[in-house]
Amino acid sequence: MASRELSCREVTQAFLDRIASDDEKVGCFLTIDAERALADADHAQAMLDRGEAKPLTGVPVAIKDNISTEGIETTCASKILKGYLPPYDATVIRKMRDHGMVILGKTNLDEFAMGTSTENSAFQVTRNPWDLKRSPGGSSGGSASAVAAGFAPLALGSDTGGSIRQPASLCGIVGFKPTYGRCSRYGLVAFGSSLDQIGPLARTVEDAALLSEAITGWDPMDSTSLDMPEVEFKDLKKGSLKGLRAAFPKEMFGEAVDPGVRAEIEKSITAIESAGVEVTQVSIPSIAFGVTTYYIIAPAEASSTLARFDGIRFGPRAEGKGHIGQVEKTRAEGFGHEVKARIMIGTYALSAGYYDAFYLRAQQVRALMTHEFQKVFQDFDFIISPTSPITAFELGALANDPMALKMLDYCTIPANMNGMPAISLNCGFADGLPVGLQLLAAPLQDEKLLQFAHCVEQLLPDATRRPPAP
């Protein structure tokens, strides 16, 4: 586009045509606004013609449907928000528009981002482009699948317990969760407010870093936003692996890790060591309690944040007897099973007589986990682990085993509990399916992590391999 070989409109139209042709088979998008996307492209072209272009001007992007987009339906893949048209853009959307990026549409997710397979959507199931019988992961499965399938070069997701990195792993792309507070949450429909973070899904670390620079930075509209500049891209390619030290927690490499995944991770660690990184196995005992701790804290926060969805202020409303009956019926009909279950678990954990035994104890374990990771980062620059213990599983295979689904977040949850930046990149294949390598750094070390990930990506021959067209 910058060289005028293609216009911004031609690029956008090419992606819209591909979505129209193939997304029926994959199910990535809930909403496409082609007219508005082409108008965005014309605006981007005008910026290019005036010499005001930025690195991502004219580049199309897909948006997870729990991020507010003015005038474009935002449903969180839930019947309780069907037809809701937000009156404002999320801060990340406004920033992307300022950069002249093109919003293609809104992608599918597990309802209110609660899930690990994108099967909990109220509207459709999303499939993995590597094998259409398999899950793309979740909850940002629509965004990850869209990037992997070539429906969008970039996408936004949200990550509460691994919801960017886990689907990135299963779809063979890059997924980056910034440090908590580096990217504004204003306009993100909250799930667990102390855990949620918006981040990019992309084909390469370089693309993820470019989008991170565009969307991050302090935001006065978000009380949890850190008073820091944007994540900088300029030094991304200046890094070196020589002399770095990386820790490899044995708790993240236990029996639950599939043998094929284990083999690819070991191969990647060997390549990283050959490039000059000292990799040492360590123990972080609190990781073993991460899943159970997370599934107290996150539902507790969800039970509070989802109280606003009552059918009174927005979304469809069911008729019931009196105000309480109306709210009860609206929530009963509007929420899906997984969302109801988490609201009930969270309300129970916060109730009188159980608060200290569950929620308070979970927060104490969270503090312990933070302390243990801080100790590791005193001696090491980075932490290496699998992203997901398994590759993409068949749709429906784990539907009757909710604990097995939750355990898929075993390696990703610690980054959310401690606010650390974390990234997943494709390191190889097991039985023809992508395997994700997760890299973590201490809070606020986003630029160093991206630099490290870019160097590691160059060592991995399968890092940018793409699936066949659907």
Task: Collect all residues with Cβ–Cβ distance below 8 Å to 3 and sequence separation of at least 6.
Answer: none
Tokens of 369: 């986990």
The CA distance from 180 to 444, in Å, is: 9
Rounded to a whole number of angstroms, the CA Rg of the chain reads: 21
Chain CA centroid to CA 185, Å: 13
The CA distance from 180 to 164, in Å, is: 14
Q: Are 2 and 53 in contact (CB under 8 A)?
A: yes
Work out the angle at residue 73's Cα, subtended by the Cα atoms of residues 300 and 184, and round it to the nearest 5 degrees.
50
Map residue 409 onto helix, strand or coil.
Answer: coil
- Which stretches of 161-204 are DSSP H helices? 165-171
Tokens of 265: 């991770």
- Which stretches of 76-164 are DSSP H helices? 91-98, 141-149
Tokens of 291: 């899943």
Angle of helix 91-98 relative to helix 205-215, nearest 10 degrees, comes to 110
User: Nearest 5°: phi and psi at 282?
Assistant: -130, 175
Helices and strands per DSSP (H, E), number in the chain = 14, 11
User: Nearest 5°: phi and psi at 371?
Assistant: -60, -45
Map residue 301 onto helix, strand or coil.
Answer: helix
CB-based burial label for 229 (10 Å; 0-12, 13-18, 19+): exposed
Q: How many CB atoms lie within 10 A of CB 314?
A: 17
Catalytic residue annotation = 64, 139, 163
Tokens of 367: 């503090």
Length in residues, the chain = 470
